[in-house]
């Protein structure tokens, strides 16, 4: 097919420099103190919650992101769960969630018996469509004493979870403005955005709290892990307590104050994280080199465009992405299958939340262009080590 021939030619040019048989989407890199720190943990018998890598990694995250507080957790999903809970989301409360999303935001709301309400995204930011959000809030809600009331569903909307998709910032400044007017709590999903800046500020620090993920496929990894970052001391302390099964703070007494969760990050994972974060500036530089090289090859391509992000953003380029031109959407699956067959691992984005069978019953925006946007997206191999081939 003509389109695959065109794409194959471009990609071949790009990948001809790379001496690797198979390209994965995003592989972890280990070129720092990883082994040294992991050995230290094992030699000192400090693999679980004891040991000082925990504190060191937390401090490094605070310094790098500019957040005042950081709570290390076992993954990003637990950070979303605890984050919503400390922001006061509970049974029957609605949570606004972008329709193009990983499943974790919706499930975190459901863990709390809250109700996800899916909002449209726009093609420019790949995040919440601010124009549609504003119209929705103006038309469908009233600000009452108890909070923001949804006239249609007769429920209170407590929070919004803006997402910085693939490490590219959404219109977070505009979303924060609306959240302030409509008294919404903001939990930023920056799981994919470690190292991403918007208006020179780290994503995840605009809202009441932000979520980070250090899963194996992220820009830096702790194997599995995550964090909640915030500037609010009370929120941070409450999150820490919940993540530590609400154990009372006492030198030797063993008791618990309320229902909590076992969501702490073990010291071994924090050791890995510290070694990784020590190289974050280098990694971000390498990702820019990779992005620039994709840009050179795909400049003026007639089938698709390379996603570049919105104005004022400095993305981490976690997953470098192409958007097929509308005319070629119908070839998406064909292109993906073809590239995988030649060992170039690419990926479509997740199905929109409103297409997932068990989520269909929840409220969502009516005229939603998110589905068309998702059909355009293909993520390209974006592993850090690729930079070596473009030096």
Ligand X SMILES: Cc1ncc(COP(=O)(O)O)c(C=O)c1O
- Which C-beta is closer to ligand X: that of 114 or that of 191? 191
Contacts of 18 (CB under 8 A, 6+ apart): 386, 389
- Which C-beta is closer to ligand X: that of 92 or that of 107? 107
Residue that has been written with the tokens 């990779």 in this structure = 290
Please tell me the chain's helix, strand, coil percentages from 3-state DSSP, rounded to the nearest 5: 40, 20, 40
- Which C-beta is closer to ligand X: that of 77 or that of 129? 77
Residue that has been written with the tokens 């009370």 in this structure = 234
Give residue number: closest CB to ligand X.
Answer: 76
> Among 28, 76, 315, 363, which residue sits at the site for ligand X (rule: CB under 6 A)?
76
CB atoms within 10 A of CB 288: 15
d(CA 29, CA 239): 30
d(CA 167, CA 300): 24
> Among 87, 104, 130, 219, which residue sits at the site for ligand X (rule: CB under 6 A)?
104
By CB under 6 A, is residue 188 in contact with ligand X? no
Helices of type H across 127-209: 130-140, 172-181
- Which C-beta is closer to ligand X: that of 213 or that of 267? 213
Q: Segment 151-170, which members bind ligand X (CB under 6 A)? A: 163
By CB under 6 A, is residue 83 in contact with ligand X? no
- Which C-beta is closer to ligand X: that of 3 or that of 268? 268
> Among 75, 171, 244, 279, which residue sits at the site for ligand X (rule: CB under 6 A)?
75
- Strand bridging mode 201-202 / 147-150: unpaired
CB atoms within 10 A of CB 120: 25
Residue span binding ligand X (CB under 6 A) among the ranges 71-79, 284-292, 301-309, 371-379: 71-79
Residue span binding ligand X (CB under 6 A) among the ranges 81-89, 138-146, 187-195, 296-304: 187-195
Q: How big is the site for ligand X, counted in residues (CB under 6 A)?
A: 12
**Following CA atoms 138, 139, 144, 148 in sequence, which dihedral angle do they give, to the nearest 10 degrees?**
-80
- Which C-beta is closer to ligand X: that of 137 or that of 274? 274
**Smallest distance from ligand X to CB 342, Å:** 26
**Smallest distance from ligand X to CB 159, Å:** 15
Q: Are 70 and 58 in contact (CB under 8 A)?
A: yes
By CB under 6 A, is residue 191 in contact with ligand X? yes
The residue ranges of DSSP E strands in 260-337, in sequence order, are 304-306, 313-314, 321-324
By CB under 6 A, is residue 227 in contact with ligand X? no
d(CA 342, CA 84): 42
By CB under 6 A, is residue 226 in contact with ligand X? yes
> Among 192, 194, 240, 364, which residue sits at the site for ligand X (rule: CB under 6 A)?
192
> Among 141, 196, 205, 215, which residue sits at the site for ligand X (rule: CB under 6 A)?
215
List residues near ligand X by CB under 6 A: 75-77, 102, 104, 163, 189, 191-192, 213, 215, 226
């Amino acid at each position: 097919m003509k389109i695959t021939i065109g794409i194959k030619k471009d990609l071949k040019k790009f990948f001809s420099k790379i001496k690797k048989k198979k390209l994965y989407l995003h592989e972890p890199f280990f070129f720092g103190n990883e082994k040294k720190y992991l050995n230290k943990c094992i030699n000192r018998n400090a693999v679980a919650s004891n040991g000082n890598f925990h504190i060191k990694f937390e401090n490094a995250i605070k310094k790098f992101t500019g957040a005042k507080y950081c709570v290390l957790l076992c993954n990003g999903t637990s950070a979303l769960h605890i984050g919503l809970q400390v922001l006061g989301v509970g049974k029957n409360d609605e949570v606004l969630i972008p329709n193009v999303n990983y499943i974790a935001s919706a499930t975190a709301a459901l863990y709390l018996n809250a109700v996800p309400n899916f909002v449209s995204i726009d093609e420019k930011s790949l995040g919440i469509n601010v124009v549609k959000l504003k119209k929705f809030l103006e038309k469908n809600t009233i600000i009452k004493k108890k909070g923001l009331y949804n006239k249609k569903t007769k429920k209170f909307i407590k929070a919004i979870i803006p997402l910085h998709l693939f490490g590219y910032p959404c219109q977070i400044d505009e979303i924060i403005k609306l959240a302030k007017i409509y008294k919404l709590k903001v939990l930023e999903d920056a799981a994919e955005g470690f190292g991403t800046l918007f208006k020179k500020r780290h994503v995840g620090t605009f809202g009441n709290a932000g979520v980070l993920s250090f899963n194996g496929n992220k820009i830096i990894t702790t194997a599995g892990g995550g964090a909640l970052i915030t500037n609010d001391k009370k929120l941070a302390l409450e999150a820490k307590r919940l993540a530590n099964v609400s154990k009372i703070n006492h030198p030797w007494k063993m008791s618990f104050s309320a229902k909590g969760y076992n969501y702490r990050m073990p010291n071994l994972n924090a050791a890995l994280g510290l070694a990784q974060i020590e190289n974050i500036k280098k990694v971000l530089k390498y990702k820019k080199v990779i992005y620039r090289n994709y840009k050179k090859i795909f400049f003026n391509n007639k089938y698709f465009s390379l996603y570049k992000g919105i104005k004022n953003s400095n993305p981490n380029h976690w997953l470098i992405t192409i958007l097929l031109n509308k005319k070629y959407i119908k070839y998406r699956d064909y292109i993906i299958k073809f590239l995988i067959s030649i060992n170039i691992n690419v990926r479509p984005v997740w199905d929109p939340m409103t297409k997932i069978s068990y989520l269909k019953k929840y409220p969502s925006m009516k005229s939603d262009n998110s589905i068309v946007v998702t059909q355009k997206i293909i993520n390209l191999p974006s592993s850090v080590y690729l930079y070596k081939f473009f030096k």
